[in-house]
Amino acid sequence: MKRVFITGASSGLGAALAARYAAQGAVLGLAARRPDMLQSLVAGLPYPERHRIFPLDVTDHAALRTAAADFIHAFGGVDVVIANAGISQGTRTEFPEDLPVFERIVATNVTATVATFTPFLPAMKRQAAAGSHDCRLVGIASVSGIRGLPGAGGYCASKAAVISYCESLRVELRASGIKVVTIAPGYIDTPMTQVNAYPMPFLMPALRFADKAVSTIAAGTSYRVIPWQMGVVAKLLRAMPNWLYDAAFARAPHKARKS
């Protein structure tokens, strides 16, 4: 029986991952800011009495530590921790009022990823030392972290940081037996993308994404872009010389700024 802890679990990718793991018989710790949505999610899962909800903001690191301790105590350990919580907002450096938005994005998408993993690591290390091969730390990044997009500096920078941070952590933990998995979603049909007023190629349903993500996590794959078509696009964009990339994307649509 897998023991899985997911942040940002009340909707979108987090809720889809929760549904897929619950269908496999896992016990879940589900953290998010909206308790009513967490309760509604759990009520619709198999064996709802098994799972625990943790209403919290991931920027509250003390609350994350308390939730981790409670989960480990309740289930005797943890197998998979998914740092999925994230926010997206357009930011422009020319507007001073966007600086707090940028800071909030980094605090939620990057610093909270570290704060999510930290309290689980001692238990995972004990389990791995005892012979477990199932321990996974999972960072949810984005293809937006591959190259910077105009009007999305905060979001792109945060997801690039998640990719680099998880790579560093993967190397740090290589000898421990704990696998670090980085998943970079492309366009997935969630409330976060439904507000985008521009074309989203290869848009994928959230539950289909969750199927592929769960299999990727089980395999311990170090890095994967989902869907694969966006992985091809990401490699092509990364290979483009700066002059060509700049010319191609200078007039790209911008994410909406906070009004």
Q: Which residues are catalytic?
A: 155
Q: How far apart are CA 204 and CA 224, in angstroms?
A: 15
Tokens of 113: 């990823």
CA distances to 35, 94, 196 from 113, in Å: 20, 28, 25
Query: Does residue 80 sit in helix, strand or coil?
Result: strand
Q: How far apart are CA 86 and CA 8, in angstroms?
A: 7
Q: How far apart are CA 92 and CA 196, in angstroms?
A: 17
* C-beta of residue 75 within 8 angstroms of C-beta of residue 27: yes
Tokens of 78: 């943890």
H helix runs in the chain, sequence order: 12-23, 35-43, 61-75, 99-106, 112-117, 121-129, 153-172, 191-194, 206-219, 228-239, 242-249
